[in-house]
Amino acid sequence: MSIPMHNTSRGTPASPPAAGIYVPVPTFFAAEGTAAYDPVSPPLDLETQSKHSLFLVKGGIKGLVILGTTGEAVHITNKERNELIKSQRKTLDDAGYKDRPIIAGTATQNVEETLQQIQESKEAGAEAVLVLSPGYFATAVSQTGIQRWFEAVADKAVLPIMIYHYPGVTNNLHIAPSTFEKLAAHPNIVGTKLSHGIIDDQTLIAASPNIDHDHFSVFTGLGQNLLPVLAIGGVAAIDGLAGVFPRVVVRLFTLFNDSLAKGIGKKEVQEMRELQFRICQGEKLVARWGVVGLKEALARVWSFGGAKGARLPIAGGFEDGDGEWKKWEKVYEGLKKLEDSL
Residues noted as catalytic: 164, 193
Using CA atoms in the order 254, 260, 265, 270, what is the torsion angle rounded to 10 degrees? 40
How many residues in the chain? 342
DSSP reduced 3-state for 22: strand
Those residues whose C-beta lies under 8 Å from the C-beta of residue 254, and which sit 6 or more positions away, are 60
Cα of 13 vs its chain's centroid, Å = 23
Look at residues 51, 22, 35, 16 and name the one whose alpha carbon lies nearest to residue 188: 16
Q: Are the CB atoms for 143 and 179 separated by under 8 Å?
A: yes
Task: Kindly report the number of other CB atoms within 10 A of residue 179's CB atom.
Answer: 19
Task: Kindly report the number of other CB atoms within 10 A of residue 125's CB atom.
Answer: 20
Cα of 178 vs its chain's centroid, Å = 23
Task: Kindly report the number of other CB atoms within 10 A of residue 268's CB atom.
Answer: 16
Distance CA 235, CA 18 (A): 9
Distance CA 162, CA 190 (A): 6
Distance CA 155, CA 72 (A): 27
Look at residues 284, 73, 291 and name the one whose alpha carbon lies nearest to residue 197: 284
